[in-house]
């Protein structure tokens, strides 16, 4: 397939891996521990597992799978709030397919739907707005979530709703922003990440500038990266090269899509509609300052949280769950106490098991490390015992 196969060429992959190996040999003599590179974005995690990229890399490179899956990091309390909105008889709740399965403390949206709530899957917030036009006597709420990748389409939909004079459409806004969470990770005591593969789609919107602090303040190499397997291999090579040459810069591997200044009309729409929340809770990571997004006062009539009472409950993450440590690269997913035992994709306990882009779910579904498979089977057998 044109424009796809070129980015998945196994021959090019081999030569990149060879070059990564050559670079790494020089670095290895000077350090004791593996080189840890975090891919921030869930889309990258998915590609890494889908193509088996980890097995192609030398043992001394460890990929740490970051918090960039918005479905995974959504706290249970917010899902509960969403379910409570969805259960109002006048409401049609709309959302993306992968948000339907995220468990709340009592139920997911999928379960709420089975119990009678009107929950519908859409492929774009504009589809939700169309539903609002078609159902004038109902309130259509769009369960908005995602990083800067999905924020522009939500913002434009609100602007469109305003232009259309629609009064039965609102957002349950759970958008989150990339920089504060990267900052929080970098500030974590004991953090030992050596470099970052930065999110390509977020960068397409925000541009290169927001990532400069990673290189300047924390002296970590960071490379904006596309989503095909060769993109990721090339970026790993670029990060390693920076480490070998003792540089720390923002580089743009995904220049075919990402302009250094980002997408200005998108940023402008986001700026008009959204503002930062003072605090927002992340599943597995706790509360992080200025990391969540809410709707500006000017657009308050499109804010479901202001239109309707929302329970706003806080539900603590399960104690046994070690998502935070996995996210920071302190442990690997399969080293978590509950991985593949009580925490599986069917019954996820932790954030990272929730969506197929979460690190734990990806390991569970796609991992082929022999120790992982042995552990998976052993834990399953354990579970089967009375």
Coil/strand/helix, residue 78: helix
Give the count of residues interacting with another protein (CB under 8 A).
31
Among 370, 384, 385, 386, binds another protein (CB under 8 A): 370
Q: Which residues are CB-neighbours of 210 under 8 A, at least 6 positions away?
A: 178, 179
Which residue, 176, 124, 123, 171, is CA-closest to 148?
176
d(CA 117, CA 328): 37
What is the footprint of another protein within residues 321-340 (CB under 8 A)? none
d(CA 87, CA 381): 38
Among 104, 333, 350, 367, binds another protein (CB under 8 A): 367
Of the two residues 237 and 364, which places its CB atom closer to another protein in the complex?
364
Of the two residues 151 and 362, which places its CB atom closer to another protein in the complex?
362
**Shortest CB 26 distance to another protein, Å:** 24
Of the two residues 110 and 276, which places its CB atom closer to another protein in the complex?
110
**Shortest CB 201 distance to another protein, Å:** 13
Among 21, 34, 36, 56, binds another protein (CB under 8 A): 56
181 near another protein, judged by CB under 8 A: no
> Between the CA of residue 79 and those of 138, 144, 173, 318, what are the distances in Å?
21, 12, 11, 15
Of the two residues 199 and 367, which places its CB atom closer to another protein in the complex?
367
d(CA 9, CA 233): 11
Q: Which DSSP category does 208 fall into?
A: S
Q: Kindly state the tokens that stand for 179.
A: 């920089």
Region from 158-166, 308-316, 335-343, 360-368 binding another protein, contact rule CB under 8 A: 360-368
Among 35, 42, 49, 185, binds another protein (CB under 8 A): 49
368 near another protein, judged by CB under 8 A: yes
User: For residues 178 and 147, is the Cβ–Cβ distance under 8 A?
Assistant: yes
> Between the CA of residue 252 and those of 233, 236, 261, what are the distances in Å?
14, 12, 12
User: For residues 146 and 173, is the Cβ–Cβ distance under 8 A?
Assistant: no
d(CA 167, CA 144): 18
> Between the CA of residue 1 and those of 8, 51, 154, what are the distances in Å?
10, 17, 31
Among 4, 163, 384, 385, binds another protein (CB under 8 A): 4
d(CA 157, CA 151): 10
**Shortest CB 355 distance to another protein, Å:** 10
What is the footprint of another protein within residues 91-110 (CB under 8 A)? 101, 110
**Shortest CB 352 distance to another protein, Å:** 15
Residues that bind another protein (CB under 8 A): 1, 4, 8, 10, 13-14, 49-56, 101, 110, 122-123, 127, 229, 345-346, 364-368, 370, 373-374, 377
């Amino acid at each position: 397939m044109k424009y796809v196969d070129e980015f998945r060429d196994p021959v090019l992959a081999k030569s990149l891996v060879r070059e990564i190996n050559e670079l790494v040999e020089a670095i290895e003599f000077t350090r004791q521990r593996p080189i840890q590179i975090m891919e921030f974005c869930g889309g990258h995690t998915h590609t890494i597992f889908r193509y088996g990229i980890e097995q192609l890399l030398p043992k001394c490179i460890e990929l740490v799978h970051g918090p960039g899956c918005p479905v995974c990091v959504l706290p249970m309390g917010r899902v509960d709030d969403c379910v409570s909105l969805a259960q109002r008889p006048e409401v049609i709740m709309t959302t993306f397919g992968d948000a339907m399965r995220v468990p709340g403390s009592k139920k997911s949206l999928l379960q709420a739907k089975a119990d009678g709530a009107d929950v519908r899957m859409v492929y774009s917030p504009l589809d939700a707005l169309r539903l609002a036009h078609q159902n004038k006597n109902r309130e259509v709420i769009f369960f908005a979530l995602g990083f800067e990748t999905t924020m522009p389409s939500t913002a434009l939909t609100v602007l469109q709703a305003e232009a259309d004079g629609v009064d039965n459409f609102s957002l349950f806004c759970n958008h989150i922003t990339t920089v504060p969470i990267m900052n929080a990770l970098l500030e974590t005591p004991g953090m030992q990440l050596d470099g970052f593969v930065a999110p390509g789609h977020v960068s397409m919107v925000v541009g290169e500038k927001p990532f400069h602090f990673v290189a300047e303040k924390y002296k970590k190499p960071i490379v904006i990266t596309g989503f095909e397997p060769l993109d990721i291999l090339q970026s790993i090579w670029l990060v390693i090269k920076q480490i070998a040459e003792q540089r720390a810069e923002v580089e743009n591997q995904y220049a075919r899509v990402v302009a250094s200044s980002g997408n200005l009309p998108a940023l402008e729409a986001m700026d008009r509609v959204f503002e930062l929340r003072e605090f927002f809770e992340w599943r597995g990571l706790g509360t992080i300052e200025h990391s969540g997004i809410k709707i500006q006062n000017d657009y308050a009539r499109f804010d479901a949280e202001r239109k309707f009472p929302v329970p706003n409950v806080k539900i603590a993450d399960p104690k046994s769950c070690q998502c935070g440590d996995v996210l920071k690269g302190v442990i690997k997913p399969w080293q978590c106490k509950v991985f593949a035992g009580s925490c599986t994709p069917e019954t996820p306990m932790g954030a990272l098991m929730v969506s197929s882009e979460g690190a734990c779910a990806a390991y569970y579904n796609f991992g082929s490390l022999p120790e992982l498979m042995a552990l998976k089977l052993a834990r399953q057998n354990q579970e089967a015992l009375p």
